[in-house]
């Protein structure tokens, strides 16, 4: 809870957040002597591991073989809830919508991930194709129709403005800014489809933002980790120093 307070949460808000996370199955509690500790559940660990791989690898330069993955998705009209859920999942995997149930991405290697995202919804039907762009049309116009790149560019500008000038002056400030940095960067795998440079507008800001993320993360990491470990040590010392609770004995007679 002390770490949440360092991030600006009140004690009450931190307790409520931990309580909700425990109730929803993200955390579980265990007793260690006089202390109650909270640990991540196996489901949470798996989710965070997958998310961390996507977050920390996002923005790395890569080569593209000029192939596209196309997915035709069909969901019954009376199941708009399923359609909304699948739109969110497909957007997370980096697909863009061309309308009419047609989705597209240059990341052919994500086909199994897309299949897994759809498999949980038995009412949905999907068909995938792997293809190259033909002689008709323009790839940049296709990209502009499938993704709102202006909105993505604005998010990158905000990220650069928020973190390029920050100079935390204490370990606690480094911990707070490190958390905010990762929290802000983790949205980009969802916002940015990670398109190849060949189909992106000129002066695309992803590489600048990625370099800033890496440099700030590396610079703040030692002090942020030291602050977190100090919080843990302080809680352990406080628990060891606390006198044991005396049991109340009822009097009879």
Whether 43 has a pLDDT exceeding 70, the answer reads yes
pLDDT the model gives residue 36:
65
For the record, the structure tokens of 142 come out as 């296709």
Topology, domain 67-132: Alpha-Beta Plaits (3.30.70)
Q: In the predicted model, what is the mean pLDDT of residues 24-41? A: 69
Beta bridge partners, 29, equal: 38
For the chain, give every domain's residue range. Answer: 2-40, 67-132, 148-239
Q: H helices of the chain, where? A: 2-6, 11-23, 42-57, 80-92, 111-119, 139-146, 149-163, 171-185, 188-191, 206-241
Question: pTM above the 0.85 mark?
Answer: no
Q: In the predicted model, what is the mean pLDDT of residues 247-253? A: 45
Per-residue burial over 82-116, b if 16 or more Cβ lie within 10 Å, else e, is bbebbeebbbebbbbbeeebebbbbbeebeebbee
pLDDT the model gives residue 79:
87
Whether 241 has a pLDDT exceeding 80, the answer reads no
Q: In the predicted model, what is the mean pLDDT of residues 183-197? A: 90
Whether 202 has a pLDDT exceeding 50, the answer reads yes
pLDDT the model gives residue 140:
92
The answer to whether residues 64 and 106 touch, using CB atoms and an 8 Å cutoff, is yes
pLDDT the model gives residue 18:
65
Mean pLDDT of the chain: 82
For the record, the structure tokens of 170 come out as 């204490």
Neighbours of 55 (CB within 10 A): 17
Q: Tell which residue, 149, 156, 53, has the closest CA to residue 110.
A: 53
Residue 45 vs residue 7, higher pLDDT: 45
pLDDT the model gives residue 111:
92
Whether 203 has a pLDDT exceeding 80, the answer reads yes
For the record, the structure tokens of 138 come out as 């323009």
pLDDT the model gives residue 52:
76
Give residue-wise pLDDT tens across range 57-84. Answer: 888 888 899 999 999 999 888 888 888 8
Give residue-wise pLDDT tens across range 78-134. Answer: 888 888 888 888 888 889 999 989 999 999 999 998 898 888 888 989 999 999 999
């Amino acid at each position: 809870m002390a770490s949440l307070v360092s991030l600006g949460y009140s004690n009450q808000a931190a307790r409520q957040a931990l309580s909700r996370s425990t109730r929803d199955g993200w955390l579980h509690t265990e007793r260690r002597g006089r202390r109650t500790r909270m640990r991540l559940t196996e489901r949470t660990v798996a989710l965070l591991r997958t998310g961390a791989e996507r977050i920390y690898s996002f923005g790395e330069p890569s080569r593209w073989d000029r192939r596209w993955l196309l997915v035709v998705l069909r969901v019954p009209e009376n199941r708009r809830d399923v359609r909304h859920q699948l739109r969110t999942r497909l957007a997370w995997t980096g697909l863009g919508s061309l309308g009419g149930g047609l989705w597209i991405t240059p990341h052919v290697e994500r086909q199994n991930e897309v299949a897994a995202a759809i498999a949980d919804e038995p009412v949905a039907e999907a068909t995938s194709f792997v293809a190259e762009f033909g002689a008709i049309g323009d790839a940049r116009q296709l990209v502009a129709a499938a993704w709102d790149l202006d909105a993505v560019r604005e998010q990158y500008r905000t990220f650069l403005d928020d973190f390029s000038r920050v100079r935390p002056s204490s370990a606690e400030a480094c911990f707070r800014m490190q958390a905010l940095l990762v929290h802000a960067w983790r949205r980009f795998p969802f916002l940015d489809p990670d398109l190849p440079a060949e189909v992106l507008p000129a002066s695309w800001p992803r590489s600048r933002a990625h370099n800033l993320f890496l440099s700030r993360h590396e610079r703040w990491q030692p002090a942020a980790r030291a602050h977190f470990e100090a919080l843990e040590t302080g809680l352990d010392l406080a628990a060891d120093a606390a006198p044991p609770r005396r049991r109340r004995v009822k009097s009879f007679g």
